[in-house]
Chain A
Amino acid sequence: MNSTIVWMIIGMGVVTYLPRLLPFVLLGGVELPSFWQGVLKNVPYAVLGALIIPDVFFIQDDFWFGVIGFAAAVITAWLGANVMIVVLAAVAALSLYSLFV
């Protein structure tokens, strides 16, 4: 193995692990003010919004690819399907779409 690459990997590993680890160490037994507890409880929903949009519309050069996958997932999820079914439905819809393009 090339030692520069190995050092790069180690460096990447350290800067990836630190943000994942530090809150558990720093906030371990700390009782945050209720406003900030509320903010942290909001984070999952806010993060999901940002993780989905706008990236989902740009997974391929073809804009419609993202739109159709997005729509298939939203519709099946809205109908109450569980996460696995939502994933499979979106993949199936796009497989079908790529047959026709």
Chain B
Amino acid sequence: METTWAAGKMAPFRQGVQAGVAIAIGYMPIALAFGLLAKTTGLTFAETVLMSIVVFAGASQYIALSLLTAGTGVFEIVLTTFILNIRHFLMSASLNEKAEPDALWKKALYAFGITDETFSVAAMKEGTINASYMFGLIAMAYGSWVVNSGIGYAAGAGLPESLQESMSIALYAMFIGLLVPALKKQRKIVWLAGLSALFNSIGTFALHLSKGWSIVLATLLSAIIVQWLTKEGGNGGE
């Protein structure tokens, strides 16, 4: 990753904090909107903030709100959340390959903070990751998520509508900013990302899979097929 702001010999925690700034900004509009929406759904302030503290998963929390509004039962909401978050299993398994040895309790602590965004940033970091780096990264992301959920609830819309709409691109732009430099370096990565994007589109539009399953299957299929085709050429990664 060719970033100037995450490079150098900085302490891992500070490096993580700096890398987390983009996530903190990207989470802001989404968390504000979540807080606002939770209020209109009829949750109390405490319930809203508690959900962000305990769950820390954007898409799941949004879907829980819409299911609550639709009068869906608690069990179905929890089940939907599970299906949506199975993809994190794959991400944790992948990070485990990149992680330096740390005490299991530290890994168990930072495992809580693995989201699509913290995973992507950590996975694209050069070299290994350790607990200090992950704590810095997650502190920024989690802090932004929880605090902005509360602000969204308390302050209503928070941001002007047009800015909120424009900022909805922020996390996608971050994913693109992480992926493109890697794409430029290696043809294999073009295949990995391209195939997975194609499979996810097929899963979404043709097979009508849930978002969670579609991402899991697209990622696994693409990672396996490309690995199988290139296994003579050394192993993956950089």
Chain A residues close to B by CB (< 8 Å): 1-2, 4-13, 15-17, 19-25, 27-28, 32, 34-35, 37-56, 59-60, 65-66, 69-70, 72-74, 76-78, 80-87, 89-92, 94-95, 98
Contact = CB atoms under 8 A, between A and B. Distances in A.
Q: Is the interface of A mostly helix, strand, loop or mixed?
A: helix
Interface of B: 1-5, 21-22, 25-26, 43-44, 46-47, 50-51, 54-57, 60-61, 64, 74, 77-79, 81-82, 85-97, 99, 104, 107-108, 111-112, 114, 116, 119-120, 123-124, 162-163, 165-170, 172-182, 184, 189, 192-197, 199-201, 204-205, 214-215, 218-220, 222-224, 226-228, 231, 235-237
Q: Is the interface of B mostly helix, strand, loop or mixed?
A: helix
Contact of B104 (A11, A25, A76): A25
Given A48-B178, A53-B200, A12 B78 contact: yes
Given A16-B55, A16-B57, A43-B223, A77 B176 contact: yes
A9 B168 contact: no
Nearest to B184: A78
Contacts of A16: 55-57, 60, 81-82, 85, 88
B91 A43 contact: yes
Contact of A49 (B44, B78, B123, B192): B192
Nearest to A69: B169
A94 B47 contact: no
Contact of A1 (B2, B47, B61): B47
A86 B177 contact: yes
